[in-house]
Amino acid sequence: MLHTPVLLEESIDFLITNTSGKYIDATFGRGGHSRKILESISKDGNLLALDKDLEAIKYAKENFKNSNFSIKHSGFEDLDLINIPKKVDGILFDFGLCSTHYDNPSRGFSFKEAGPLDMRIDLRQPNKLVDLFETIDARSLANIIFQYGEEKESRKISKEILNSFKNGEINNTVDLAEIIKKTKTQRPKRIHPATKTFQALRIFLNDEINNLKIGLEKSKDLIKTGGRIVCISFHSLEDRAVKKLFAPKKISYPKEVPLNNEVIREFRVVAKKIKPKSSELEINKRSRSAIMRVFEKI
């Protein structure tokens, strides 16, 4: 399946404030948002894309020939390596995993087709999912599944995964999904029973929430006054982190200090909790959980 960019029109409409400006697509994927940005800026404008997946880098080099486009093999947690402080007009973050990862069983993200126990976004990363199962204890695994997947049956699932893995019953992603499915007593109606656990394992293995926080914090130093940061999240952990990082900073003084408490605002909220329209949901079911927030540097 070709990757369909989420909230495409809405995100670019908010992002572009200067057609001759500098922009960053911090999560290139298969370039849906990047292509739209390039269509929306002039030849004097510039777009830099980032992605830590080598397949995305290869796709970009083969399909994007624009002279005002470049791509860097890097995650957005390394945004500080881009030495253009206070000069960027807009940065786009789409925190969703590219659809091609799910559709390619060899990457180990999907439970629909048998794939290796991998789940690495950046193949330069040494540790795969199988390495995690070989070294982790049940309690720690349960904490991961609960914290990053918000899975209520995490303890039971954790024990069953590790027992089955040690007994040689989990050799691929379908085996893993079936063990989770059989273990769960509460079956969700709209999603596969293994969805939350797979999400948790992927997030932990790739350190996604921590990288998100680092990337957004570093983006604040790149964006110019009046520039915008657009964030598209796909679950509550991401969305909460986004809201917290852009919330006004409150400075409280002790009662004995004769100063009023301060509220420091670096960004103003341009748009909050924008969701895909029904027309988009009909075309792309994977967009159903997307939430977009837009912030402008004051």
Q: What is the pLDDT of residue 188?
A: 81
CATH of the domain at 17: 3.40.50.150
Which one, of 249, 239, 250, lies nearest residue 216 by Cα? 239
249 & 290 share domain? yes
* Cβ-based neighbours of 65, under 8 Å, separated by 6 or more: none
Confidence of residue 89 (pLDDT cuts 50, 70, 90): very high
Is 42 contained in some domain?
A: yes
Contact in structure between 176 and 111 (CB atoms under 8 Å): yes
CA distance 226 to 228: 7
200 & 250 share domain? no
Confidence of residue 2 (pLDDT cuts 50, 70, 90): low
Q: What is the pLDDT of residue 209?
A: 96
| Phi and psi at residue 136, to the nearest 5° | -90, 155
Does the pLDDT at position 233 exceed 60? yes
Average pLDDT for 79-93: 92
Report the half-sphere exposure of 283 (CA within 13 A, side-chain side): 11
85 & 140 share domain? no
Q: What are 109's two structure tokens?
A: 């993200």
**SS3 category, 253:** coil
257 & 192 share domain? no
> Tens of pLDDT along 157-170?
999 999 999 999 99
236 & 284 share domain? yes
86 & 223 share domain? yes
Domain count, the chain: 2
Out of 15-24, 92-101, 136-145, 285-294, least confident range: 92-101
Domain of residue 138: give its range: 126-205
> Tens of pLDDT along 46-77?
999 999 999 999 999 999 999 999 999 999 99
| DSSP category for residue 27 | -
Q: What is the pLDDT of residue 3?
A: 66
Which one, of 64, 77, 56, 71, lies nearest residue 121 by Cα? 56
**The pTM is what?**
0.91
Contact in structure between 180 and 153 (CB atoms under 8 Å): no
145 & 89 share domain? no
Is 110 contained in some domain?
A: no
CB atoms closer than 10 angstroms to residue 171:
13
Estimate to the nearest angstrom the gap between the alpha carbon of 93 and the chain centroid. 7
**SS3 category, 58:** helix
143 & 94 share domain? no
> Tens of pLDDT along 185-205?
988 888 899 999 999 999 999
Q: What percent of the chain has pLDDT over 90?
A: 82
Does the pLDDT at position 208 exceed 80? yes
